Amino acid sequence: MTIKGKADTSYLLETNKIYAYTYDDYISYREKELASSLIDAKGNFALSFSISQPTYIYLMADNAKSEMIAEPNRTYDIDFLAKDSDAVNTLSIAVPVSMMFNNSDSTEINYLMADFSNRYEAFLEYNRPLISTKSSFFFGRIDTMKTLCVQKYSAFNKRYLNNYIDYTFAQLEESITLKENEKIVEKYFKNKTIQLGNNDYMMFFNQFFAVTISAFMAEPQTQNEIGKQNFASLMEYFKQINVLANDTIRETFILKSLAEYFRYPACKVSSVLAILDQAATQCKAGENRRSAENLKKKFSVMNTGNPAPTLPFQDMDGKTISLSDFKGKYVYLNFWTTWCSSCTQEMMMIPELKKIYGNKIAFVSISVDKKPESMKNFLKKNSKLDHDKNGAGWKFLYCDNYKKAKEEFNVLTVPTYFLIDPKGNILQSPADKPQDIDTTFIQIKKKK
C-alpha cells in the first residue's frame, strides 16, 4: 500500500523526512518503523509498505504525529497539516496534528470512523448530566446508541470498524461502572475473540485491568511471587482472579503488570527480566511472546553492566563515530539540546572537570537538536566549551535520529547523563550531573 501526499512546508525548517510507524505490540508499545520518505522542497512525499489487514499506523515528521487506519492494497492521498502555532515542542511527547484525505469516500474506513466519532461525541455531549452523576439510566441509552450504530455501519462489513465501535463503548461503560464489573466481563471478555493485535481492544484491556493491576502489584505477596523469578508460578498465582481463567488473558495481564511494576521504586529489575525471559518462550500466544521479548529489550536498555549501544553519530566534521571508538577510557556521556537552558548551564562546568580528569575520562556530548547547524553555531558562540576536533578530551557529536537514541539509550528528556567504563559497559545509568559527579571521578582518578 502507498501513502502519498504533501506535508506542510513548515516542517522543512525542522526535518526533511516523514515516517510511518505502528506498534509491534500493545503491552510494550514498542514502535515499529514501516517506511520513511524524504520530503521534497514542495512538501511532497511517498510512503510504501506491505500490510495484510487493516492496521493502525501513525505518521511522524519531526515530533508531529497524525494517526490513521491503513488498509491493504490502497493508495492514500493526504495532506499532513502544520502544527498548531501554540504547540509546545518537547523531545518525548509528540504533538498531534491533523491530516486531510484527498481521495477518501463514504465507504473508506477512516471516513467511517470519523463519522462514527462525530456521532459518539454528540451523544456524550447530550448526556453529560447523566455521565457526571453515573446514572444507571445512562446504561440503557448506551445500549440503544450502540445498537443504532451497529445497524448503521453493518452494511459496510468492516470488522475493524465494528471493533472500534464495540470497544469505544466498552471503554465508556468501564469508566462509569462502579461495582458491576462482572457485567463488563460477560459482555466484552467471556466467549469473545481475544484481539491482542488490535489497538482498540488493547486500549480497553489496559484500561479495564489498570485498577486490578495497581491493587495486586502493591501487595507484598505479589512482590514475593515476582521475587521467585518463575513465570509458571505467576501464572498459577493469578488464577485466583476469576476473569483471568483464560490462559491468554492471564498471560497478557501478567505482562501488563510487569510493565507497570517496572516503574515501582521497589522493583527488582533482575527478577522482572528473568520472568520476561521465560515468558518469551512459554507464553501460548505469539503476540504475548513478542510482547515479552519487547519488554525485555525495553527494560534492558542502559542497565548497569550491559554494553553501551553502538549507534553511530556524526562529529563536527561529519565523520561517523560510535561510543566503541572510546574504548580504553571512561566516558562521561550526556545528551543535550541548544534550546535546553539546564543543558547548556551544566555543560559550562565540564571544562573544569575535563581539566582535572581528562587524562582518564573522555567527555562526549551528543546533540539531539533538529539540525547539526544548531550545535555548530552554539559552539562557535561559546568558546569556553573548548571542543576538540581530534577526539581527545571533549567530543561533540550530533544525533540525526532522536527516536533511535530514545530507544537504544532511553533518552526521555535532556539533559541525560551516563558513565561508561573502559570496556564499553554501562557503569552508571543515569550518571550524576556535572555538579555532583566529582566523588565518582575522584575514585576513577585513583585507579591505576
Q: Where are the domains of the chain?
A: 2-103, 105-192, 216-300, 313-446
User: How do beta strands 17-23 and 55-61 pair?
Assistant: antiparallel
Sign of CA dihedral 271, 277, 278, 284: positive
Cα–Cα distance for residue pair 114/120, rounded to 1 Å? 10
Judge whether 426 and 345 are in contact, CB under 8 Å. no
Edge to edge, what strands does the sheet with 416-420 contain?
320-321, 313-315, 394-398, 361-367, 330-336, 416-420, 426-428
- Please state the φ and ψ torsions of residue 61, each to the nearest 5 degrees: -125, 120
Residue partners of 126: CB distance under 8 A and separation at least 6: none
Cα–Cα distance for residue pair 251/235, rounded to 1 Å? 7
Sign of CA dihedral 29, 32, 37, 38: positive
Edge to edge, what strands does the sheet with 55-61 contain?
31-38, 17-23, 55-61, 64-70, 95-96
Closest CA to 20 of 58, 53, 63, 72: 58
Residue partners of 319: CB distance under 8 A and separation at least 6: none
Cα–Cα distance for residue pair 296/212, rounded to 1 Å? 23
User: 10 Å Cβ neighbour count for 376?
Assistant: 17
Residue ranges for the chain with pLDDT beneath 70: 89, 178-180, 386-393, 448
User: How do beta strands 320-321 and 330-336 pair?
Assistant: unpaired
Residue 163 DSSP class: H
261: its cell numbers? 511494576
Q: What's the fold here for domain 313-446?
A: Glutaredoxin (3.40.30)
Q: What is the amino acid identity at position 311? A: L
User: How do beta strands 44-48 and 2-7 pair?
Assistant: antiparallel
Q: Which residues of 70-90 are buried (b: 16+ CB within 10 A; e: fewer)?
A: bbeeeebebebbebeeeeeee
Q: Which residue is listed with cell 462502579?
A: 178
Judge whether 25 and 32 are in contact, CB under 8 Å. no
- Please state the φ and ψ torsions of residue 210, each to the nearest 5 degrees: -60, -45
Which pLDDT score is estimated for 180?
Answer: 57
Q: What is the amino acid identity at position 236? A: E
Cα–Cα distance for residue pair 67/69, rounded to 1 Å? 7
Cα–Cα distance for residue pair 21/177, rounded to 1 Å? 34
Cis peptide before 415 (omega within 30 of 0): yes
Q: What is the amino acid identity at position 265? A: P
Which pLDDT score is estimated for 179?
Answer: 59
Q: What's the fold here for domain 2-103?
A: Immunoglobulin-like (2.60.40)
Q: Which helix H or strand E contains 73, and what residues bound it?
A: none
Residue partners of 65: CB distance under 8 A and separation at least 6: 58, 59, 94, 95, 96, 97
446: its cell numbers? 585513583
Residue 52 DSSP class: S
